[in-house]
Chains A and B, each alone.
Chain A
Amino acid sequence: KAGVTQTPRYLIKTRGQQVTLSCSPISGHRSVSWYQQTPGQGLQFLFEYFSETQRNKGNFPGRFSGRQFSNSRSEMNVSTLELGDSALYLCASSLQTNTEAFFGQGTRLTVV
């Protein structure tokens, strides 16, 4: 059974640009959550999608957005990139609510 797949693995972007990250959850999982991981702030929740609807949202500015498609694949978009957006972005998929979440390897975003 394939795990959670995130693409690309690495990205380098310039301040002011926008970026789109992709996440393919485990087959059959309908919940996809996104997290930002930095040395200073740790793992912080961005948002969760369940059956194409955003169900929960963390405390991030509106520059961070996401969506989920009918096949449960999800994308996360960050517009007007700032240096502080440099982080490891992790996607997690879950079969149901309030249960195990399985993480992908992450996308390492560097903003220069």
Chain B
Amino acid sequence: QQQVKQSPQSLIVQKGGIPIINCAYENTAFDYFPWYQQFPGKGPALLIAIRPDVSEKKEGRFTISFNKSAKQFSLHIMDSQPGDSATYFCAAVLNTGNQFYFGTGTSLTVIP
């Protein structure tokens, strides 16, 4: 059973567009929600993360929106660039350790 559901599976946007990737979870024991970016042949790199007591967090061009009641969170990439083309993973972490439950990933392509 997939603990974290991520959509869409793939996304194509024009340069300057704002891709949005969505994730949903069920387990209310999750209390840390990071997003990772992965390029081919590389390990995932931490982009931004949020805890459930905050509804929004911005770091540079990346924004997480968090809806605790709906158990959903999303990543917005402002002014997207071709260099943002990568696979993005959301994750949820239990408050008992560092066991990350990852979404299935979204392949983002930003067209120049």
Measuring CB to CB, which residues of chain A are less than 8 angstroms from any residue of chain B? 4, 6, 31, 33, 35, 42-45, 48, 50, 55-56, 58, 90, 92, 94, 97-106
Beta-carbon contact of A98 and B98 below 8 Å: yes
With contacts A55-B97, A97-B98, A98-B32 known, what are 18 further pairs, Cβ within 8 A?
A4-B43, A6-B43, A33-B99, A35-B100, A43-B44, A44-B102, A48-B97, A90-B44, A92-B100, A97-B96, A98-B31, A98-B94, A98-B95, A100-B46, A103-B43, A103-B44, A103-B45, A105-B42
Residues on the B chain within 8 Å of A90, using CB: 43-44
How many residues of B are counted as interface, with CB atoms below 8 angstroms from the partner's CB atoms? 25
Distance of A103 Cα from B42 Cα, bound (Å): 9
CB nearest to B89 among chain A residues: A43
Q: Which residues of A contact B89 (CB under 8 A)?
A: 42-43
Which residues of chain B from 81 to 112 have a CB within 8 Å of any chain A CB? 89, 93-105
B65 to chain A, nearest CB (A): 20
- A100 CA to B100 CA, complexed, in Å: 10
- The answer for the CA separation of A75 and B99 in the assembled complex, in Å, is 17
Contact among B32, B46, B97 with A56 in the assembled complex (CB-CB below 8 Å): B97
Q: Which residue of B lies closest to A106 (CB)?
A: B43
Query: Nearest CB to that of B49 among chain A residues?
Result: A100
Nearest residue, chain A, Cβ from B2: A42
- When chains A and B are docked, how far (Å) is the Cα of A42 from the Cα of B2? 11
Q: Would B102 and A43 count as touching, CB distance under 8 A?
A: yes
B34 lies within 8 A of chain A by Cβ: yes
